[in-house]
Structure 1
């Protein structure tokens, strides 16, 4: 009969102990990759939105400069004294903004050139209305170029969201161009009455071009703002923008009607006073609309930055929880491995003691000698002698 040997507890091999830890470490790789990718993408979007807010800040400072410059041009062309107080204040405020963020937006050189032209305007011979019109036209061109530069360097022109893209296009491109062109249209209308009759065809062509230049951006502005409202999820954009937009649209339509050539052939003179009044109404409506657009655009950018910050925080929290779970699993596996190693020495003496029990049958120490078949055993003949004698 065979007695079964006790089951020996086998100690886990080195690969068996290391493999779970390697699997745990492998789980951390995709988590780290996902966190790094999320952090990079949200970081790029956040940096763009932050730079766009700087662009909004700069455009907000350029708005009063545009208003004051158009008013100064109208006064100079009309032969009235030019009030420098409003323009000087606007220039100083814009200079402070450029000093703060001009390096980041790479606008220092353009602003310096524009400011030099602005400060040189009072020193020019503005008694000539045509000369004043040309001088202010040069400065307003530089101002519009600076607006385009700010949109490009701040990233506003590359905004990825529909609502904020249409808003920046309207406030940074369409509105300044419409205001400048409306001012030039009114001023050229006043100059046309002073030109000789021989220049009448040329003047009408210039007025037609300025009329298109003024009405085109104004129409684009209306389309941009309505598109922004239609594509926005914000509940504040529509109510805040549409009412002043309607006022501006009506004023632009009045300017278009009053600046159109009179007469059946379309060659008759227009009334400069009516055109100037219509320009003032359009400019006043634009001044009311301008801060509203800037505020709504800045609010959308702030909301985007807050949303990106929340996404980054959620990604970090999710990665931290994943790492925590992996660490817990690793601690459990390491603890189990240590307990297995501690139990192994305690089981060896038990196996050595169990060796005293026979694993199989063992023969006795003294083996008996085998007898051949039929032979008598020792002492057996003497035992049967009396029986044989009786027979």
Structure 2
């Protein structure tokens, strides 16, 4: 008798295919969500770092103003006010100790602070030497402004309005303030220089005049461009009023420092115009930095909302795909249950027959297997031995 070989168990394709479909949908969605999260996280990190740069620039603003005033006092032969400069230096030192490591500015600040300490201990002496010494320190201060803008990412700001604002507050305005102070101080020094140095003095005055007016003009252009490109309705009303005041002060400085017929420039109008421009800049710079920080804070909040929306959308998508996989698996199971009662032709051929292929042989009593035995009249079963030997006993 041939025994059929056992069939190999088939893999339940109804379960695998839905899972493959879910994985095929989930994999590209996961890659896209990861890339979007990375881009959003990079933009948010840049905005947070830029806010640190704004905080550092806000601390450097009083140092710039106090240093320019101290230079003018030293050139004029007066003792500079050490209290204002000391307070500004201490404030900037506190900020540098807290975030200078993140902005990689501590080394430059340490060098600048050493120079500032040396200037504070300097007595009233030669105005020309004071002009040179203060010029070196202000160069270091402007270099620190550039370093903070670069390390904080302000120079790489992707939005037009905030990019114009950071350029105006972090570069153009400090340069214009320093150059205007040098222009007024050189006008004071020019009156005491010998006639042999007159040509050199006029050349220096012309260069400093350009150095003061060009960044001031760029500052005005930056702020107007920021207002035009910004979606904020508050930026124009906040910035334009102090900007107009500063622009008028710069125009007065340009008129006072214009070369005339006189061989020596009158320092009084230049010094007065410089003081007005300095006061206007002191009102304008905090406004610019405050508006810049407001824009960056709003950007951080927007990116945070986008991150939460991305997390919510990703979680919802995973949940929907899980539900879809469950529905597909359930449908596949129902299909298999419906197809299970119907046997295949091969299974029917291999099934054992219900009846034997030939009739059974009769037993010793003449009764075939499965047939009922005859009963005696009394209802008792017939004895097979009696049936077999009955004729023989009768012949005897």
TM-score under structure 1 normalisation? 0.83
Deviations along 1:233-264, one digit per CA (max 9) or x if unpaired, are: 1111111111110100000000110111221x
Pairing 1:114-133 to 2, within 5 Å after superposition: 114-133=112-131
Q: 2:263, 2:295 → 1: CA distance?
A: 48
**Residue 35 (structure 2) aligns with:** 37
Pick which of 122-131 and 272-281 moved more: 122-131
**Residue 154 (structure 1) aligns with:** 152
**Residue 312 (structure 1) aligns with:** 307
The answer to whether 1:302 aligns with 2:300 is: no
2:192 counterpart SS class: coil
**Residue 288 (structure 2) aligns with:** 293
Q: 1:276, 1:293 → 2: CA distance?
A: 25
2:265 counterpart SS class: coil
**Residue 329 (structure 1) aligns with:** 324
The equivalent position to 1:241 in structure 2, one of 225, 239, 251, is 239
Q: 2:274, 2:10 → 1: CA distance?
A: 91
Q: 2:123, 2:246 → 1: CA distance?
A: 35
Deviations along 1:50-69, one digit per CA (max 9) or x if unpaired, are: 11000000000000000000
- Kindly state the Cα deviation for residue 13 of structure 1 after the two structures are TM-superposed: 6.2
Q: 1:224, 1:139 → 2: CA distance?
A: 27
Structure 2 stretches lacking a partner, 5+ long: 1-8, 360-396
**Residue 378 (structure 2) aligns with:** none
Q: 1:145, 1:94 → 2: CA distance?
A: 15
Q: 1:111, 1:58 → 2: CA distance?
A: 11
Pairing 1:88-127 to 2, within 5 Å after superposition: 88-127=86-125
- Kindly state the Cα deviation for residue 338 of structure 1 after the two structures are TM-superposed: 4.7
Q: 1:80, 1:210 → 2: CA distance?
A: 23
Structure 1 stretches lacking a partner, 5+ long: 1-10, 359-364, 366-391
TM-score under structure 2 normalisation? 0.82
Pick which of 158-167 and 311-320 moved more: 311-320
Q: 1:162, 1:287 → 2: CA distance?
A: 24
The answer to whether 1:275 aligns with 2:309 is: no
Q: Does the 8 Å contact 2:246/2:277 carry over to 1? A: yes
Q: Does the 8 Å contact 2:79/2:124 carry over to 1? A: no
Q: 1:310, 1:339 → 2: CA distance?
A: 43
- Kindly state the Cα deviation for residue 332 of structure 1 after the two structures are TM-superposed: 2.2
The equivalent position to 1:208 in structure 2, one of 206, 209, 215, is 206
- Kindly state the Cα deviation for residue 344 of structure 1 after the two structures are TM-superposed: 7.2
- What number of residue pairs does the alignment pair up? 343
The answer to whether 1:71 aligns with 2:98 is: no
- Kindly state the Cα deviation for residue 19 of structure 1 after the two structures are TM-superposed: 0.9
Q: 1:109, 1:12 → 2: CA distance?
A: 72
Deviations along 1:338-363, one digit per CA (max 9) or x if unpaired, are: 55666777788xx99xx9xx9xxxxx
- Kindly state the Cα deviation for residue 30 of structure 1 after the two structures are TM-superposed: 1.7
Q: Which has the higher contact order (CA 8 A, sep 6+)?
A: 1
- Kindly state the Cα deviation for residue 313 of structure 1 after the two structures are TM-superposed: 1.4
2:324 counterpart SS class: helix
- Kindly state the Cα deviation for residue 82 of structure 1 after the two structures are TM-superposed: 1.2
Q: Give the root-mean-square deviation of aligned CA atoms.
A: 2.4
Q: 1:296, 1:332 → 2: CA distance?
A: 54
Q: 2:164, 2:12 → 1: CA distance?
A: 64
